[in-house]
Structure 1
Amino acid sequence: MNRRWKGDDTGAALPLVLVLVTVIAVVLGALLSFADTSVRTTVNLRDQAASAYTADGALQAGINAIRTSTFTGAAGEHCFGGSDTLSLPNFGGAGSAAVSCTADPAKVRIQCPSLSVCNRPGNAILTLGTGGEDGLNIQQPTGSSFKVHGIVYSNSNIRVVNGSLDTNTAVYARGTCSGTILSTPTPSCGFGGSSLGADPGYAPALTSVPPRQALPPCTKASSLVTFQPGYYDDAAGLSAMMSSSSKCKDSTFWFTPGTYYFDFHNSASVRPPSLPSGTDEWTVDNGYLVAGTPVDGSGRIIAKPPVPAQIPGACDNPIDDAKAVGVQFVFGGDSRLAVKAGQAEICGTYSAERPPVAVYGLTSGAESLVTTTLVPASVTGDFTGGTTASLSKVDGLGATWVSPGKSGGSATLTATGFAAAAAPPAGTILTSAKLRVTHRNDQGTNKDTRTAQFTPTGSSPISLTVSSPGGGSAVTDVTDVTSQLAQAVYDGTFAGGQLGYTVNVKHEGTELVDALQLDLAYTPPALRSESGCTQLMYPSSAACALVTTVNNSGNRFYVQGTTYAPKAVLDVTLNNATEPIFRFGVVARSLWVKETGSVTFTGAVIEVPDDSPGFVFGVYLSAYVCPGSSTCAPGGAPVARARVAYVDGDPANPVPGARQVSVLSWSGNR
């Protein structure tokens, strides 16, 4: 018998059960998958953490291994004994590790084990004059304190007018001391002398005169005017550019890194037309002079300085940066620098072996007068028998021409050459230039005419004086052409020229051109010891200082490096100083400092850095981890890296375990 559905749900139970089972299975599957992922993530994170901890521990092991060794980064040495890899088998929970080591090429040595092995001066102030003027003269308002960080040593006297000289260490004077001097220990005046008072004899950054540079264009106010290293001889031009009436007033004058030689010749009695007369003092009376690698307010190197520049802090300071590349301003003769209403900052170049001398006054060298006789290189024309050799000297030989008959005739001779084997360099001052034409005719001179002209290469002809000799007697006609050749010689473009000689006679006879000569006397640029007014006793009315700053509310002057001028005087007036004006010390014949009542800077005005502000040597360390392995070797990407510096009390004799460790950077790939 067939059963029919009567309205109950007995037949629907099975599908509902199947749906429920399916839903539960999906949910459980998702939960189990999430749980599995979570477990695996936890395991991976735990492994990564273990690897990171192992790498950190490996770096610490490497750092300590070097700390307790005598490794100094010298050529041929290895960081870890006989290898640059430190193997750490079964090291930590992540397996084994290895540390590779590479020496850091950057080294700093400011430990100064001796005065001869040091990259800073032994004194903050060292004056070398021995009498006739104050060695150190400080003038300031009553109650003021002139502060110095480092030793003060005068080979003559120290005079403090009002206020006090205050240094954190010793003060020595071989002569007398007057005024209030605060030091530890008490000042040693009438001191017998020591090696601290000797001239350190720093060498300049150049051994010969660099190429002369023309002044850069100056056409727009508040612009960037860029100078290149080289030789500059025009103080008047520099001063005009950096004046309040200049076309480029309020500009930043950027002296790019390198060596600059300033030997001004504006006061010389003999000058080329383009070099204006004046004094040999370069005056910064407007704008912002920045010398060195430019940096921004945070000390980061930038491509070029801004306009206006922020002084101080406009160029890379060798105290702060062991990679600083700056300038050296070298002054010769009576050349000097004055900062009036302008602002200037000069940054030296860091060196591990010597102080970063930024301003240098030459102590030796002199100009030499060169005399030479230039002669033809080739001869053409109607004359015969003439050779360059026979025309180079007066010897009765030379080029001859015989008139064709009693009625006479005319003839020409053209000689080219008159160029020096080595052309005078740009900046050469021509003292004398004389053309000599030696000639004769063996007959009379009635109605004869003779002319000659010299055409310098690339220039206009110059008419020469030519007489009409007779009776066989030779004459030498001399024409002074100094003024016509001076500019080309100064520009370095003089390349000789061509001399044309024409004779027209009315009789028989033989015309002889015996010699054609150009006599030159000139003075090429030279490294010159400081001279002139810079060597007069200060402060007589005729004496002058190598560097002068005046009492002007707008001026600022900073030297980020050593100032070395053992034969000159520095005369500095402080107005708006916000940090030390002479970093890395001053060496001069005499130093005069004036503080005004408006000075608010209370720190050390002159300083040298303390010992060991940097490190003796450094290394780069990289840590590698090999999970589950009993050994490990460097390979692939390191798990962690570090840059570490070490400082030894005596770099030449390191003591294992006694060296100071500085971690400069630490990073990991996690």
Structure 2
Amino acid sequence: MIRPAIRLRRRRRDDSGTVLIIALIVVTTVALVTGALLSHSGAAMSATVALQGVADRSYAADAAAQVAINDLRLGGKAPGITAPDPDGDGPAERSDWVYTDAGDGAGCFGLDGSAARDVLRLDGVASDAGSAARVECTKVAGTGLYGSGGGVEQNAQNTFPRALTAFGGDISYDGGGLLQIRGGMKASSAITVKKYRQTVLYWPWILQSFSPATLATSRAGEPVRRCTGDSFTTPVTCPLSDGGGAGAPVVADALTDLTARPLRDPSSVTASGGVCAFEPGYYDNATTLSNKVNSCSTSWFKPGLYYFDFQNELSEALGNGLMGGDNVWRITGNRTVIGGTRPPGNPTAIPGACVSPLSDHTAAGVRFVFGGNSRMQADVPVSASTWIRYNETPKVELCGSYSATEPPVVVQQQTNGAAAPTTATTPTSVTAPPTTVSGTGSTPAFANATQAALDPGNTAAGAATWTSTAVGQKAALALSGFGPSTAPPAGSVLRKATLSLALTAPSTGVKVTPSAGGTTGTTATLTGSGDVDVTSLLAAAVHDGTLAAAGPSAALAFTATAVGQKVTVDSASLRLDYYAPNVHAGSLPVGGDPLLKVYYPWISGYPGNWPRFVVNGAIYARNGDVSLEFGLTLGTAYFGPMVSMRGGVAARSIDLIGGQWGRYGYPLASIPDLGVGVGNLSTVVDLKVYVCAEAASCASGGRHALTVRVKITDPAYGDDELPEAGNRRIQVLSWAEQ
């Protein structure tokens, strides 16, 4: 029993299986290491292939972005770019075209047929890998030719929904050539187009356009819509009303009363340094305003609110001698009118003579509010001998105030208020007795010559009496202080002023002067009770607010021709019937004079002295019309009057007469693009680059490989100048690989 156990122990101590175990361990280890090495090598090779693909895509994306940026710089001079020709002027203009979102229907890369081209396809952009790329271009909101100045925000609150809005009538274009409107248009009635034809005043021939009239409208990021009329007599009705934006704009009245609106007398303005400066306030005399403005080489209307409620027609109808003419403020002749804050150096070149709310968020401008049937007109005077006086070309630039919450309204017709007075309107009436009565100078003396005796309201005081005791004796009674306790406010228009005397006497001379001690006045002769009309005598004092409490004076004089002649003066009073100044709702008859008329007809002015009328802000006239005439293109001939409404026009109806004209970026009517701008010389775009690896083309799909933001800046645009293809500053604002 002992030996088997011993044998078993001996077998366990034997090394005969160790080599096999070691061999198995070595084989396993080598296999594991070799596998790991082989796996690492495969991963490295895969990574190398993947990185090579990334590099290829990156190179392709970079190359595509560089090509797109160069095309933006070169514009119409870039290979493969089809540029628009909005004016029909031919290849020269097409080669100079660049993208500024100018409302010409083109995209970042010109045209694709007639559609805007905002996608650039680059087949074989990376030839070694056989890749293709696609660049999609999007303009950054608020930038471009119709973008605002740096930091100026344009939003739905402070921008009209469209460039032209007709509340109750037509938008009509009577012209030749292309007329561009930037920002859309809408008419409650119709939009019509026909060719210009007119018998020239004083000349026995007809002026007409040789080119069809084309009205074009566009919005940011939308194609241009056009309508052409080729008839002189039958207008074409155009389907150009757009539904973009909100409904018709609504602008709240800036005035509810005339508190803090002092009456201004334009005739008191004097020139300083060649400039006549006008203050905000209430202006009621169109003739005086016109005469003063047209006598100054430069008129500057300081920032603030101006209320124009002219009373010339009322005064003329009343015949009070206060004012004459009609209710039209006329700017005519070779004059410059500027409204708003002036830039440093006080330039007078237009555009640029005032700080625009479209370029500066600190702009403080003017607001011209028109009440009643008051209106404004800028025109080139007509001469029987030369038709147009070439050297008499008005230049006007008005700038509004910037606000983030309301449009920068520059010209506005008052919507609410009292009806403007007419000769049929019941006036306000005040009556005043004299406050001072004196019989000094009478021989014998006047009896009972007291204020109480002559007060119509005091019947118990008796009358002032005088009886002659000899031939040649004189009776004199001086009355003064007829000023009413509540005097008519400054700006009142006197309908009638009457001195009423209740007396019994032989022929008595009466002389009324505007103030005590005056020498010039109205005289009359009375033989009994009667009235003396002193309207023309007192109209100016009532209007100017100078009818003081001392009031006018009246002197009664009588010379006795017999003994015992008697004079009895029972009462005396002055009655004033007048129309006090007020805020009057604007209202002009349909088919009558427009609220704003700009008349810069064909061949008015000459190079270097073209007429100008630029409004950097909005125009709003719910019960008035706007008429703009701005020169005419005859074939390829160009005449340069410039009219530009840069914040939109909303009026009852809008008449446009003329042809293509003006400075780049200043169409007849426009609204700024929404967004925060960087100035209208700069256009910012986002370029998204897609790469289609190992593909012949990349019309769609692909991998988004790169996003680039680019700012393109042009030199300043001068008169009749366009941006220059190739001469554009390129700034890459960001370059982000995806």
Counterpart pick for 2:435 among 356, 377, 383: 377
Residue 496 (structure 2) aligns with = 432
> Structure 1 residue 120: deviation in Å?
2.1
Which amino acid is 1:339 matched to?
A
Counterpart pick for 1:330 among 366, 369, 375: 369
Listed as ranges, the gaps of 5+ residues in structure 1 are 1-105, 113-117, 172-176, 181-186, 297-301, 469-474, 616-670
Counterpart pick for 1:479 among 522, 529, 532: 532
CA distance in 1, matches of 2:244, 2:538: 55
Residue 588 in structure 1 maps to residue 651 in structure 2: yes
CA distance in 2, matches of 1:407, 1:273: 41
Distance 1:179 1:584, change over 3 A: same
> Structure 1 residue 498: deviation in Å?
2.4
CA distance in 2, matches of 1:599, 1:463: 57
> Structure 1 residue 325: deviation in Å?
0.8
CA distance in 2, matches of 1:395, 1:457: 27
> Structure 1 residue 110: deviation in Å?
4.0
Which amino acid is 1:311 matched to?
I
Residue 340 (structure 2) aligns with = 292
Residue 211 (structure 1) aligns with = 262
> What's the TM-score once normalised by structure 2's chain length?
0.54
Residue 487 (structure 2) aligns with = 423
Residue 136 (structure 1) aligns with = 171
Counterpart pick for 1:607 among 670, 682, 686: 670
CA distance in 1, matches of 2:289, 2:367: 17
Counterpart pick for 1:546 among 596, 605, 627: 596
Distance 1:438 1:585, change over 3 A: same
CA distance in 1, matches of 2:624, 2:534: 39
Residue 93 (structure 1) aligns with = none
Distance 1:596 1:110, change over 3 A: closer
Alignment of 1:211-610 (within 5 A): 211-215=262-266, 223-243=274-294, 246=295, 248=296, 251-267=297-313, 268-270=316-318, 273=321, 275-277=323-325, 280-296=328-344, 305-306=346-347, 309-340=348-379, 341-364=393-416, 365=418, 366-367=420-421, 369-381=427-439, 382-384=446-448, 386-388=450-452, 391-393=455-457, 395=459, 398-401=462-465, 403=467, 412-440=476-504, 450-457=508-515, 459-460=518-519, 462=521, 464-465=523-524, 467-468=526-527, 475-495=528-548, 496-502=551-557, 512-531=568-587, 534-537=588-591, 543-551=593-601, 552-553=604-605, 554-575=610-631, 581-599=644-662, 601=664, 604-610=667-673
CA distance in 1, matches of 2:469, 2:337: 75
Which amino acid is 2:578 matched to?
Y
CA contact (8 A) 2:332 2:378 kept: yes
CA contact (8 A) 1:272 1:490 kept: no
CA contact (8 A) 2:266 2:292 kept: no
> Structure 1 residue 397: deviation in Å?
5.2
Distance 1:336 1:348, change over 3 A: same
CA distance in 1, matches of 2:657, 2:508: 70
> Structure 1 residue 205: deviation in Å?
4.8
Distance 1:311 1:501, change over 3 A: same
Could you give the per-residue CA deviations for residues 32-77 of structure 1, whole angstroms, max 9, x where no partner exists?
xxxxxxxxxxxxxxxxxxxxxxxxxxxxxxxxxxxxxxxxxxxxxx
Report SS of the residue matched to 1:486: helix
Residue 119 (structure 2) aligns with = none
Report SS of the residue matched to 1:483: helix
Counterpart pick for 1:163 among 209, 214, 229: 214
Report SS of the residue matched to 1:254: strand
CA contact (8 A) 2:630 2:643 kept: no
CA distance in 2, matches of 1:283, 1:407: 64
CA distance in 2, matches of 1:611, 1:462: 63
Residue 135 (structure 2) aligns with = none
> Structure 1 residue 257: deviation in Å?
1.0
CA contact (8 A) 1:205 1:328 kept: no
> Structure 1 residue 607: deviation in Å?
2.2
Could you give the per-residue CA deviations for residues 555-603 of structure 1, whole angstroms, max 9, x where no partner exists?
1111111111111111112357899821222111111223325556466
CA distance in 2, matches of 1:213, 1:431: 21
Distance 1:277 1:525, change over 3 A: same
CA distance in 2, matches of 1:222, 1:266: 31
Report SS of the residue matched to 1:392: coil
> What's the TM-score once normalised by structure 1's chain length?
0.59
CA contact (8 A) 1:335 1:546 kept: no
CA contact (8 A) 2:499 2:532 kept: yes
Distance 1:141 1:600, change over 3 A: farther
RMSD between superposed Cα atoms in Å: 4.0
Distance 1:330 1:492, change over 3 A: same
Which amino acid is 1:374 matched to?
A
Residue 148 in structure 1 maps to residue 182 in structure 2: yes
Which amino acid is 1:236 matched to?
T
CA distance in 1, matches of 2:187, 2:176: 23
CA distance in 2, matches of 1:407, 1:138: 83
Which amino acid is 2:298 matched to?
T
> Structure 1 residue 281: deviation in Å?
4.2
Listed as ranges, the gaps of 5+ residues in structure 2 are 1-149, 195-212, 230-237, 380-392, 440-445, 632-638, 679-738
CA distance in 2, matches of 1:483, 1:604: 49
Distance 1:216 1:325, change over 3 A: farther
CA distance in 2, matches of 1:418, 1:222: 44
Tell which deviates more after alignment, 482-491 or 402-411: 402-411
Could you give the per-residue CA deviations for residues 537-557 of structure 1, whole angstroms, max 9, x where no partner exists?
2xxxx5445232322232111
CA contact (8 A) 2:612 2:641 kept: no
CA distance in 1, matches of 2:534, 2:155: 61
CA contact (8 A) 1:292 1:325 kept: yes
> Structure 1 residue 403: deviation in Å?
4.6
CA distance in 2, matches of 1:578, 1:431: 43
Report SS of the residue matched to 1:277: coil
Report SS of the residue matched to 2:650: strand
CA distance in 1, matches of 2:404, 2:181: 27
CA distance in 1, matches of 2:598, 2:372: 16
> Structure 1 residue 494: deviation in Å?
2.4
Residue 76 (structure 2) aligns with = none
CA distance in 2, matches of 1:271, 1:322: 48
Distance 1:562 1:467, change over 3 A: closer
> Structure 1 residue 356: deviation in Å?
1.3
CA contact (8 A) 1:348 1:356 kept: yes
CA distance in 2, matches of 1:578, 1:456: 50
CA distance in 2, matches of 1:274, 1:466: 25
Distance 1:202 1:263, change over 3 A: same
CA distance in 1, matches of 2:571, 2:245: 62
